[in-house]
Amino acid sequence: MAESLTLDNPSTCVPFLEHYPERNDVPQRIPIMAWPFRLGRSPGLEYTIYSSQVSKQHAEIVRSGDNYCIRDLGSTNGTYVNGRRIAEATLSAGDIIHLARKEFRFGLDTEVHHEPTNLQVTAPSATEIPVSLIRSTELMRELIKRRDVRVIFQPIVHLETVAVLGYEALGRSTHAVLNLKPTELFNLAEQCRLAPELSRLFQNVAVEEATHLPAHTQVFLNLHPAEMHDEWLVESARDLQSRLRPTQKLVLEVHEDAVADVGTLMELRNRLHELNIGMAYDDFGSGQSRLNELAEAPPNFIKLHLGLIRDIHQSHARQELVQALNHVSKDLGVDLIAEGIETAEEAEVCRSLGCRFGQGYLFGRPQAVALLQL
């Protein structure tokens, strides 16, 4: 017999599940008022799910003190927490649970609701992430299939002459619902396990647009960290390079968070070099900069994070840091690109510290190819 949950303190958090249907049904909040809380197709369980894909006794949620855990009960189609199939897993507020294709969100509440209640949920606006991971995945696949994206380009210039070295391609969504900021869009794509596909879409659209850039220019494309483990990465880069104009050169930007190990990085750099494709370490200095990888697998460029560059003319400490990085990079044959330059003072200090190239609003905002001053 299930143990009833009693509240010794009115402020005690009460666990619940929010059920998000696959289509347009009303989402429902289900209080967890008994232990163990079993879910499945059989009548008489704490929560019955009417679906042939769900086993008769599919999973159960149990409580140990202030901790909560979900166990799979030998189901046919599996129990998943945040996209991973589990036998048993600890639950935290906000975790997404799937029983087959039925989706729930685990949460904690200070109010006690003894019966399931419908949630008042409005349709997502153009700037909101849909609450359902299933629906989000469907929308993300739709975005990728219909190519609901656009690409804008920001110039990278020689700080000495302000001549354009190349352009960084930046992706934006044009999807009616997933019209999110780039960071939010990729966060959602990661939850949907579609980040590499989204990244490749942006890369393909960027190359199509880049053929309208000047003939002698370098095209900087961002890699998503998940792509570093893709066995087809080099072949994909070869294909992208082949679709540019013969005198244009591709440069792949690797974020420092994507660096797995020196060996992987060295192999990638060497294979790209054979194809005359450049490599840049992006956002260097944003976190734990990997100096070991820089020494063992030097790229063509290091892009200094805007946090280092913003108001650098007023920070002696950051000036010393950039100057030290320049000395190391120069010995390795690596060029520095200062990102986020917005003022002439920042540009002049970066140039004097040894940065050959710069990028930022001072030299041009990201724009569609047709609007660039070519």
Q: Is position 46 within any domain? A: yes
For 303-339, how does the pLDDT look when each residue is reduced to its tens digit (9 = 90+)? 999 999 999 999 999 999 999 999 999 999 999 999 9
Type of residue numbered 192: C
Q: Is position 126 within any domain? A: no
Residue finishing a domain among 88, 118, 148: 118
Instruction: Give the chain's residues under pLDDT 70.
Output: 1-12, 20-27, 110-132, 256-260, 286-290
pLDDT at position 1 is 34
DSSP state of 314: G
- Looking at the structure, tell me whether residues 70 and 169 fall in a common domain: no
For 200-229, how does the pLDDT look when each residue is reduced to its tens digit (9 = 90+)? 999 999 999 999 999 999 999 999 988 887
Q: Is position 52 within any domain? A: yes
Q: For the chain, how many structural domains are there in total?
A: 2
pLDDT at position 125 is 41
- Looking at the structure, tell me whether residues 307 and 341 fall in a common domain: yes
- Looking at the structure, tell me whether residues 197 and 232 fall in a common domain: yes
CATH number of the domain that 245 lies in?
Answer: 3.20.20.450
- Looking at the structure, tell me whether residues 91 and 167 fall in a common domain: no
pTM of the model: 0.70
- Looking at the structure, tell me whether residues 194 and 168 fall in a common domain: yes
The domain of 294 spans 133-371
Q: How many angstroms separate the CA atoms of 170 and 253, rounded?
A: 12
Q: Which of 211, 217, 129 is nearest to 173 (CA)?
A: 129
Q: Is position 178 within any domain? A: yes
pLDDT at position 285 is 75
Number of helices (H) and strands (E), helices first, in the chain? 9, 22
Q: How many angstroms separate the CA atoms of 256 and 225, rounded?
A: 9
- Looking at the structure, tell me whether residues 179 and 44 fall in a common domain: no
Q: Is position 241 within any domain? A: yes
- Looking at the structure, tell me whether residues 276 and 154 fall in a common domain: yes
DSSP string computed for 134-192 = HHHHHHHHHHHHHT-EEEEEEEEEETTT--EEEEEEEEEE--SS----HHHHHHHHHHT
- Looking at the structure, tell me whether residues 361 and 265 fall in a common domain: yes
- Looking at the structure, tell me whether residues 224 and 91 fall in a common domain: no
- Looking at the structure, tell me whether residues 210 and 333 fall in a common domain: yes
- Looking at the structure, tell me whether residues 59 and 199 fall in a common domain: no
Q: Is position 22 within any domain? A: yes
CATH number of the domain that 22 lies in?
Answer: 2.60.200.20
Residue 233: C-alpha distances to residues 108, 205, 271 (Å):
42, 17, 10
DSSP state of 44: T
Do the Cβ atoms of 364 and 341 come closer than 8 Å? no
pLDDT at position 66 is 84
Residue finishing a domain among 87, 118, 149: 118
Residue finishing a domain among 118, 145, 162: 118
Q: Is position 127 within any domain? A: no
pLDDT at position 229 is 76
The neighbour count for residue 124, using CB atoms within 10 Å, is 16
- Looking at the structure, tell me whether residues 59 and 200 fall in a common domain: no
Q: Is position 259 within any domain? A: yes
SS3 (DSSP) at 131: coil
Q: How many angstroms separate the CA atoms of 129 and 182, rounded?
A: 12
